[in-house]
Structure 1
Amino acid sequence: MLNHTRVFNECQCLHEPIEGIAGYANLFLIVFSLPIISFVGVVLNFFNIFIFCEQKNTAAKYLTALSCSDVGVCMAGIFVICSDSLRAHSFVIDQIFVFLLPKIIPLGLFFQMLSVYITVLAAFDCFYSVHRGSKCDNNRSTWAPRVLALVVISVAAYNIVQFGDLQAVECMHPENYTLFELCPTEMRLSELYVQVYKGYLYALSMAFLPFVLLSILTVSIIIMLRKKDGMKKMEKSEMNNEDSGNNPVVLLLVVLLFLCCNLTSLLVNVFEMLKFQLKYEVEAVLIDIGNFLVVINATANFFVYMASSEEFRHSFYRRIRRLLRSKQRSGGMPIMHEQRLRFFNRQPIASSL
């Protein structure tokens, strides 16, 4: 009689918890803090989307698109960054996400890159509007949808390759039981793929090129604003005559926030490109800080809009008042309707980028 017992290879890609200071940093930043910040970021970015959709100026279109991509970044903070760290602490989570991560990691990377290049587009738009003034409004409104569509398609085309990076493999644990582990595919192990696509192209497209462009544009915008009778006078004029999305100071602050929050990730990429070997714990902590700040950036744009735009504040408070009024009205419903509404609203709560 034939023996049909299946033989499994020994596990080679087990996901073990990080120990020492790096482990404590990972627990605090990624496991505990990041899901809360990501959830808040999703809510705040939906407010951004609703408010900027009401505005008709060109810059508001870029900020609406940026808020949409930031929703994806915040969701990736929960379902990619946090879940990847949780896998090391929970067998059940590990066995669920070992099948999900090969699909959702490329989506997280797509939204992260999309946020980067929409920020670059917003900076270009800010530079062009400050340089040309109100004369450029017609050109900007024509270019914006086309350029945004081109960027979305280009970023999607660049990241689609990464759906072939990882795979779930069944293997034998050293303690003599079978499980699924997340392993790189043959393509991901290719030296040419790692060196060119994951190395040079990624560093160029996600680190050096955006930072160089944004730095040049930021300095140029500041110089032009100072030439136009000072930044404060310019800000006051823009606030009185245009929507919040068209205020160059708002866009400038968004770009500056992006540069600050992404500096850690840039340093990690620079060290890797220069073959500068960091201690394992130091590298792990820097990666966690970089991922944490990326989600902070996707969340904090709301506070930039609130602090620098009176129009945005009024729109936000107006929406909050509407929500409160709608809740007060629902409180006066007949009991049967109120129970039905409560039933339909009862919903479950739900390595890195």
Structure 2
Amino acid sequence: MLKKHDMFGIHTKKKECFSFSLSRLLMPPVMVPSDAASSTTTFIDVLFGWAVSFITMLSHLLNGYLTAFFVFTGIILNLLSVSIFLRKERAGTPAIQYYLVTLTLWQTALLANAFLLYSFPNLWWGHLVSQGTYVYLYPYVYTFANTTHTGSVWIVLTLTIDRYLALCQPLKHRAIGKKRRVRRLMVVVSIMAIMFSIPRFFEVHVILYCDPPTSDNCVATIDRTSLFDNRLYWTIYHVILAMIFVTLLPCLILFALTLRISIALRSAIAKRKSLCAPNSDVDTRCKSMKSSRYNSSRKDHKSNIMLVLVIAKFLVSDILPTVIDVLEHVVGQSAFMRSPLASLFVDISNFLIVLNCSSNFWVFFVWGKRFRRSCRKCIKSTQIGACIYDMAQWNTDSEVSLCAPSSFTTVNATKAYGSTERSFRYKRHMELTASRTDETSLNPSRT
């Protein structure tokens, strides 16, 4: 049985090898009478077998179909987001687009690695494989998947720091928030993420397993290296450094900065409201100022909500791997590897990471008005998107024409019930002219 840290800093295991749950391992043994031992053991075995089957089915559903669905939809939507961000960047928008583009690219690469490492083996073989030709991909995919996760975490952290400086220390942000420096920062952060994840490549390797050892019937098998089994390395790299640079400390920093940003936005809105009192003498000017303040406060409020949602998704998806790492360190690796319940927690945490990387588009779309406008323009610029948009517009027009009155009735009603008195007089004049014409045609003797 293989146990190794996956792309998210937690474990993958072969589901068929589990035989005990984590709760049973932590429970002390219970002494029962000899005459009741057989019946009790049979009932527990049946119940435990049903629980293991249910966990296996749920794990297959999470790692296989659900992960594949969110991977493909997430990659498509992320590429669309990158296209929109690049278009906005050419139009001269702020340097924050570099953060969003880099983050989206890292998350797209993470989704691709999640499909190769989890979804494809579950869909093709029905479980995670540890033998065969496919395992030759594992050292590379496993290393690059951890790299993409680390890079995405650090990009989110730098993005939050940038927003904090822009709102709380604007003078300092003007000096360091230029586009050229942001581009360099994104390159440096990406290189550091790659360097930080290099040890992952030396944690697993492919060996040839022969049964019996002297035979030529050998199969490629993925196995752990001595570096992975080194307890000192495990404690320093997977627990201490991972908690400081990838999981726990970044989560705390993001939460603190987000709270500080929220306070700064509220104080800014309060200052804008105090600039124009309700009983001011210059009413017209105050109304225009109130309108601009209202629109600005709405934009700041939506931006704040969008940032909080992004950070909340990150916290929910990344805090569980840290808890599982600490729990494994407390319980023990061998006991943790045999637990189907721990395996389910691993699959859930992996799926949360995939869900987080594939859902940022919807956060941008719901809370970003400019993003929605750019998305609509981007879709209409393609031939397929223009056809779909025209079909949607045609269906809308058809529904309106079927439910609304005819065009002749609409025109007459508009003339009769127009917003000006002139249209009504014109309508009355036309009616009098028509009646006189009819009377003349009916009485030709008078003419």
Q: Same fold (TM over 0.5)?
A: yes
Aligned match for 2:72, one of 28, 39, 52: 39
1:86-125 equivalences under 5 Å are 89=126, 94-125=131-162
Corresponding position of 2:377:
318
**How far 1:194 moved relative to its partner?**
2.0
Alpha-carbon contact 2:75-2:108 (below 8 Å) kept: yes
Corresponding position of 2:57:
24
Alpha-carbon contact 2:262-2:304 (below 8 Å) kept: no
- Counterpart of 2:140 in structure 1: which amino acid? K
Give the Cα–Cα distance (whole angstroms) in 1 for the partners of residues 244 and 147 of structure 2.
16
Aligned length: 314
Change (3 A) 1:256 1:143: farther
| Bigger mean CA deviation after superposition, 152-161 or 16-25 | 16-25
Structure 2: 5+ residue stretches without partners:
4-12, 19-51, 273-291, 388-447
SS in 1 for 2:126: coil
- Counterpart of 1:253 in structure 2: which amino acid? L
Alpha-carbon contact 2:2-2:224 (below 8 Å) kept: no
Structure 2 length-normalised TM: 0.62
1:65 and 2:124 aligned: no
Alpha-carbon contact 2:227-2:233 (below 8 Å) kept: yes
Give the Cα–Cα distance (whole angstroms) in 1 for the partners of residues 305 and 330 of structure 2.
36
Corresponding position of 1:221:
261
Change (3 A) 1:90 1:129: closer
SS in 1 for 2:269: coil
Corresponding position of 1:179:
219
Deviations 1:78-134 (A, max 9, x none): 011324556863799952321001111100000011111111111111111121358
Give the Cα–Cα distance (whole angstroms) in 2 for the partners of residues 93 and 171 of structure 1.
11
Give the Cα–Cα distance (whole angstroms) in 1 for the partners of residues 229 and 121 of structure 2.
20
SS in 2 for 1:180: strand
SS in 2 for 1:115: helix
Alpha-carbon contact 1:87-1:94 (below 8 Å) kept: no
1:1-353 equivalences under 5 Å are 15=14, 17=16, 19-53=52-86, 54-55=88-89, 56-83=93-120, 85=122, 89=126, 94-133=131-170, 136-137=173-174, 139-141=176-178, 142-172=180-210, 178-229=218-269, 236-237=295-296, 247=303, 249-275=305-331, 280-324=339-383
Deviations 1:251-308 (A, max 9, x none): 3432222123323223323423554877812211111111101011101100000010
SS in 2 for 1:182: strand
SS in 2 for 1:262: helix
Give the Cα–Cα distance (whole angstroms) in 2 for the partners of residues 265 and 91 of structure 1.
19
Alpha-carbon contact 2:168-2:264 (below 8 Å) kept: yes
| Bigger mean CA deviation after superposition, 66-75 or 126-135 | 126-135
| Bigger mean CA deviation after superposition, 202-211 or 64-73 | 202-211
Change (3 A) 1:236 1:109: farther
Structure 1: 5+ residue stretches without partners:
1-10, 329-353
Give the Cα–Cα distance (whole angstroms) in 1 for the partners of residues 362 and 106 of structure 2.
17
Give the Cα–Cα distance (whole angstroms) in 1 for the partners of residues 312 and 299 of structure 2.
23
| Bigger mean CA deviation after superposition, 46-55 or 188-197 | 188-197
Deviations 1:9-51 (A, max 9, x none): xx98894536433211211111111011011111111111111
| Bigger mean CA deviation after superposition, 97-106 or 186-195 | 186-195
Deviations 1:233-263 (A, max 9, x none): 989427879xx9xx45533432222123323
Give the Cα–Cα distance (whole angstroms) in 2 for the partners of residues 16 and 286 of structure 1.
13
Give the Cα–Cα distance (whole angstroms) in 1 for the partners of residues 128 and 210 of structure 2.
14
Alpha-carbon contact 1:126-1:252 (below 8 Å) kept: no
Alpha-carbon contact 2:161-2:257 (below 8 Å) kept: yes
**How far 1:203 moved relative to its partner?**
2.8
Corresponding position of 2:399:
none
Root-mean-square deviation over aligned CA pairs: 3.4
**How far 1:189 moved relative to its partner?**
2.4
- Counterpart of 1:223 in structure 2: which amino acid? I
Change (3 A) 1:25 1:240: closer
Give the Cα–Cα distance (whole angstroms) in 1 for the partners of residues 166 and 228 of structure 2.
43
Alpha-carbon contact 1:15-1:88 (below 8 Å) kept: no
Alpha-carbon contact 1:88-1:94 (below 8 Å) kept: no
Give the Cα–Cα distance (whole angstroms) in 2 for the partners of residues 199 and 99 of structure 1.
27
Q: Higher Cα Rg: structure 1 or 2?
A: 2
SS in 2 for 1:228: helix
Q: % of aligned pairs identical?
A: 20
Give the Cα–Cα distance (whole angstroms) in 2 for the partners of residues 88 and 234 of structure 1.
59
